[in-house]
Amino acid sequence: MAQYARGSTVAVIRLCNPPVNALSRAVLQALEDGLKKADADPSVKAVMICGENGKFSAGADIRGFSSPERSGGALGPIVSLIESSEKPVVAAIEGVALGGGLEVALGCHYRIAHMKARMGLPEVTIGLLPGAEGTQRLPRLIGVPAALEMITTGKHIPATEALKLGLVDEIVEENTIEAAIRLANKVIGQPLGPRRLSLKPVPKLPNMEAFLDKALVKVKKQAWGCLAPELCFQAVRAATERPFAEGVRRERELFQVLLSSGQAQALQYAFFAERAVRRWATPSGASWSSAAPQPVRKAAVIGLGTMGRGIVTCLVKANIPLVALEQDLENLNKGRKAVMVLLEREAMKMEGGAQTLDFHNPARLQFTVDFDQLRDVDLVIEAVFENMALKKEIFHKLSKICKPGALLCTNTSALNIDEIASATNHPQQVIGTHFFSPAHVMRLLEIIYGRHTSPTAIATAMQLAKALKKVGVVVGNCFGFVGNRMMFPYIQQAVFLLEEGSRPEAVDQVLEDFGFKIGPFRMSDLAGLDVGWRSRKDQGLTGPSLPAGTPARQRHGQRYSPLPDLLCEQGRFGQKTGRGWYQYEKAGGRTATPDPWLLNFLSQYRDTHGIKTRFIDQEEILERCLFSLINEGFAILAEGIASGPEHLDVIYINGYGWPKHRGGPMFYASTVGLPRVLAKLQKYSEAHPDVPGLRPSAFLKKLVAVGNPPLKEWMSYLSQQSSKL
Ligand SMILES: CC(C)(COP(=O)(O)OP(=O)(O)OC[C@H]1O[C@@H](n2cnc3c(N)ncnc32)[C@H](O)[C@@H]1OP(=O)(O)O)[C@@H](O)C(=O)NCCC(=O)NCCSC(=O)C[C@@H](O)CCCCCCCCCCCCC(=O)O
């Protein structure tokens, strides 16, 4: 847990808890024992603390925060113990020093880091604040502005930046441990008072109050309903106003508030969920543990529309040589220009500027209209628009042209992967890769396996997600897959609520107050109402193929709202046309304002269809939208489309703007309590018997019947009982 070794003068304490040397109770105990041993041994003149396996420490053991014996509690006193040592203590930082790991280093009198090391106080990202005196020591060392930035954002900083900030005393390219021992020997006998951060004053700013007031406004704006950033801010403010010991007391109080908040639990669940989904499995028994990815040395993207451009940008950023293909020269040139603009922008954002992205070299990024150029690629991502016939035509061509082992990916948000694969001779190599717009920004990659998709293809797509710095989530093939399938009932409820008497801005407000970055109507205006309209026409739900005599508000015996179709028929496609559910300052405008035309239109629509307008309160808006989405989630789990609730939650957090501090829809359902979710769905379903999305799923009912088990046990009920569902 921590190994103690004594050299001639320097004692070495090595934190040892693979894979990241998290500070569990046992590690902390061993660290304390090592410090006491070194203190008691007169031949030891200095101490060096480092971590096993080239990593200092990723901080307190996060799992410990939800266990009855919390692991982090003893850390603050140990950091104090390090600092008060009469023998110099040097931290040798390799790999990462994060959270409590960095706080340990801040207790040391000297810090030396490898130039590839990263440091940070990311507690805010898991709903906490640095609780081992870090909020009090860091501002004393690097000043309030830099400390506030690190603590309220949780960003990791590279060693070079840490050196500039004064966070470390030295960086080295070679052996950090040897350099730290040399430093420890060098400083033996030097006064330690000036090296004890708790004794230093917080560096003054000429306008501290004004600076803090402005900083608070920024923190609140970025927090988006999340508590931790503001409490982090308050802890740093305490460092500017109070002596060290009082600041520490304040830090502990604030830490307690966060620890007992549901938000910390949700964010920590999200942290582990994101890691859990890497261990993918399919119902047929394929899994991450046995499947190996194949290398992707060269890739191709077909289609340079909005999605294709973003995907090309991702691949270039991941340093994968690439062929970008369009159907004709006009579209190719348009696409090439747009890609270049995106890449220039991305290069500006990256450290080192444009040189870091090699996109002017045709050997790395080639634009073509010639399918023959795809002969030697290892992977193709088709990103043309959502049209089955077109996609099948392309896959048929790819199957003939590409080399036998090439992975054939389709970027689709709903279409049937098996049908697309049927156009090829290699269905085992066909897989869905559903990117989210803008593809070079959004973290989610939904990876959809079809009936014939091989485990190697899934492993390769997961490996690609990692290379693109995305979160890959493996799901099964059904209409809309996981994300959009859960979104359909949510949007449907939002529109039904308008029919019944609500307004777009009222529905959006409720969901934005809940924490969504953008409500359903603003989102629909942003994405373009024509996208769904085209899909509904393809499904025969509206448009010329709709059989004559179909009731306006019913399809296949179920309730249907033609409202979005009627808006499209008026040319109201959303932001792009300057009108949609809202009005905008111009076509392509971004500022949504309520549109009196729409209110009038809704009122006439209700009159036409004999709908009595009623007042709908916030609770009903929230419950009908969220619980119908969650209900679909239970159906998805029961069908084996996703292998656990974590998958659904990771998809929603990373692709649909679900507030991370609420842990994802399924985690949220578990915090609301499944009996309550069920009771509400039953109530709404009774009121709207023609809406299947409100009819409680059999799996949800089952879980309530077995006593509302914790989320991590849900799937076990399914495997035992699925045949009876
Ligand atoms: C470190 C990483 C950057 C590594 O990333 P990489 O991609 O390489 O690898 P993975 O992310 O896949 O990680 C590998 C593996 O390790 C697991 N893991 C990583 N970090 C931790 C961790 N800190 N704890 C536990 N496990 C960890 C990860 O889950 C993977 O395993 P898996 O099986 O899931 O695949 C990256 O991992 C990363 O960013 N890690 C998190 C870093 C972080 O957030 N650190 C901060 C931790 S919180 C902390 O340090 C708090 C401190 O400030 C101390 C607080 C002291 C509290 C004192 C409070 C006193 C007052 C209250 C008293 C209460 C008393 C009472 O109530 O009883």
pLDDT digits 0-9 by tens, 443-455 = 999 999 999 999 9
Q: How far apart are CA 113 and CA 630, in angstroms?
A: 46
| CB-based contacts of 303, cutoff 8 Å, min separation 6 | 325, 326, 382, 383, 384, 385
Neighbours of 606 (CB within 10 A): 16
- What is the DSSP secondary structure assignment for residue 73, as one 8-state letter? G
184: amino acid identity, one letter:
A
Q: Using alpha carbons only, give the angle 463, 469, 472 rounded to the nearest 5 degrees.
A: 55
Half-sphere exposure of 144 (CA within 13 A, CB side): 25
**Residue-level pLDDT at 71:** 55
For position 358, what pLDDT does the model report? 77
Rounded distance between C-alpha atoms, residue 262 and residue 572, angstroms:
41
Classify 366 as helix, strand or coil. Answer: strand
Distance CA 595, CA 327 (A): 40
| 61 CA distance to ligand 1 middle (Å) | 5
Which amino acid is it at 257?
Answer: V
Closest to 451 measured CA to CA, from 416, 408, 481: 416
- For residues 202 and 208, give the distance between their C-alpha atoms in angstroms, rounded to a whole number: 11
Contact 159, 113 (CB under 8 A): yes
CA 618 to chain centre: 27
Q: Do residues 322 and 468 lie in contact, with contact meaning Cβ atoms separated by under 8 Å?
A: no
Strand extents, DSSP E, 328-422: 365-368, 379-382, 407-410
Q: 114 pairs with which residues across the strands? A: 172
Note if the bond before 489 is cis, omega within 30 degrees: no
DSSP letter at 324 equals E
Instruction: Work out which ligand 1 atom sits closest to the CA atom of 118.
Output: 3
- Contact at 8 Å (CB) between 164 and 156? no
The fold of the 502-608 domain, in CATH, is N-(1-d-carboxylethyl)-l-norvaline Dehydrogenase; domain 2 (1.10.1040)
Say yes or no: do domains 299-475 and 618-722 share a fold: no
Q: Tell me the CATH number for domain 2-259.
A: 3.90.226.10
For ligand 1, whether the C-beta of 103 sits within 6 Å is yes
Closest residue by Cα to residue 142 from 169, 124, 116, 123 = 169
Ligand 1 pocket check for 63: Cβ under 6 Å:
yes
23 residue type, one letter: L
- Pocket mutation for ligand 1, best pick of 27, 62, 259 (most atoms within 8 Å of C-beta): 62
Does residue 326 have its Cβ closer than 6 Å to ligand 1? no
Give the catalytic positions in this structure. 103, 123
What phi, psi does 94 have (nearest 5°)? -120, 155
Q: How many CB atoms lie within 10 A of CB 544?
A: 6
Closest residue to atom 7 of ligand 1, CA basis: 275
In angstroms, what is the span from residue 122 Cα to ligand 1's centroid? 9
Nearest to 524, CA basis, from 446, 592, 586: 592
Homologous superfamily assigned to 618-722: N-(1-d-carboxylethyl)-l-norvaline Dehydrogenase; domain 2 (1.10.1040.10)
Q: Strand 89-93 relative to strand 2-6: parallel, antiparallel, unpaired?
A: unpaired
pTM of the complete model beyond 0.90? yes
* Residues 438/427, Cβ–Cβ less than 8 Å: no
CB 553 within 8 Å of CB 561 = yes
Q: Which residues make Cβ contacts (< 8 Å) with residue 305, sequence separation at least 6?
A: 335, 383, 384, 385
Ligand 1 lined by 61 (C-beta under 6 Å): yes
Report how far residue 121's alpha carbon sits from residue 155's, in angstroms, rounded to the nearest whole number.
7
- State whether the beta carbon of 155 lies less than 6 angstroms from ligand 1: no
DSSP state of 13: E
- Rounded distance between C-alpha atoms, residue 428 and residue 424, angstroms: 9
Cα-to-centroid distance, 73 and ligand 1 (Å): 14
Q: Does the beta carbon of 58 sit less than 6 angstroms from any atom of ligand 1?
A: yes
Backbone angles phi, psi at 434, to 5 degrees: -90, 105
Of 16, 17, 9, the closest CA to residue 38 belongs to: 9
Residues 6 or more apart from 569 whose CB is under 8 A from it? none
Contact 1, 26 (CB under 8 A): yes
Nearest to 534 by CA among 544, 522, 520, 525: 544
Which residue, by CA, sits nearest to atom 2 of ligand 1? Answer: 58
> Does 64 contact ligand 1 (Cβ within 6 A)?
no
> b/e string for 669-684 if b means 16 or more Cβ within 10 A?
bbeeebeebbebbeeb
Burial 396-413 (b: 16+ CB within 10 A, else e): eebbeebeeebbbbbbbb
Q: Is 256 in the pocket of ligand 1 (CB under 6 A)?
A: yes
Cis before residue 19, ω within 30 degrees of 0? yes
Kindly state if the Cβ of 51 falls inside 6 Å of ligand 1: no
Rounded CA-CA distance 460/407 in Å is: 8
Q: Candidates 17, 20, 57, 231: which one to mutate for ligand 1, based on the most atoms within 8 Å of Cβ?
A: 20
Nearest to 138 by CA among 146, 31, 125: 146
* Contact status, residue 281 vs residue 288, Cβ threshold 8 Å: yes
Give yes or no for residue 132 CB within 6 A of ligand 1: yes
Alpha-carbon distance of 26 to 479, in angstroms, equals 49
299-475 is a CATH 3.30.379.10 domain: no
Best CA proximity match to 21, nearest among 34, 30, 8:
30
- Report the distance separating Cα 447 and Cα 293, nearest Å: 14
Contacts of residue 23, defined as CB under 8 A and 6 or more positions apart, other chains included, come to 15, 17, 31, 57, 59, 60, 61, 71, 72, 75, 100, 101, 104
Question: From CA 447, how far away is CA 88, in angstroms rounded?
Answer: 52
* Cβ(121) – ligand 1 distance below 6 Å: no
Residue 305 has a CB neighbour count (10 Å cut-off) of: 15
Q: How far apart are CA 169 and CA 91, in angstroms?
A: 10
- Residues of the chain scoring pLDDT < 50: 354, 721-725
* Best CA proximity match to 699, nearest among 626, 623, 642, 624: 642
Interval 143-185: pLDDT, tens: 999 999 999 999 999 999 999 999 999 999 999 999 999 999 9
Q: How far apart are the CA of 147 and the centre of ligand 1, in A?
A: 20
Ligand 1 centroid to Cα of residue 224, in Å, is: 23
Going from N- to C-terminal start, the domains of the chain cover: 2-259, 299-475, 502-608, 618-722
Q: Which two tokens stand for residue 317?
A: 């950023």
Q: What are the two backbone dihedrals, phi and then psi, of residue 328, each rounded to the nearest 5 degrees?
A: -150, 170
Paired strand residues for 599? none
The pLDDT value recorded for residue 72 is: 58
3-state secondary structure of 576: helix
Q: How close is the Cα of 22 to the center of ligand 1, in Å?
A: 6
Residue 42: strand, helix, or coil: coil
**What six digits make up the tokens of 100?**
């409590």
CA distances from 473 to 300, 418, 452, 644, 711 (A): 22, 19, 18, 11, 19
- Distance separating alpha carbons of residues 181 and 47, to the nearest angstrom: 8
Atom 58 (ligand 1) nearest CA: 73
- Ligand 1: centre distance to CA 187 (Å): 32
* CA dist., res. 105 & res. 21, Å (int): 14
Q: How many CB atoms lie within 10 A of CB 533?
A: 19
- Please tell me the distance from the alpha carbon of residue 23 to that of residue 160, in angstroms, as a whole number: 25
* Atom of ligand 1 at shortest range from CA of 103: 53
* 433-463: b (≥16 Cβ within 10 Å) or e: bbbbeebbebbbbbbbbbebbbbbbbbbbbb
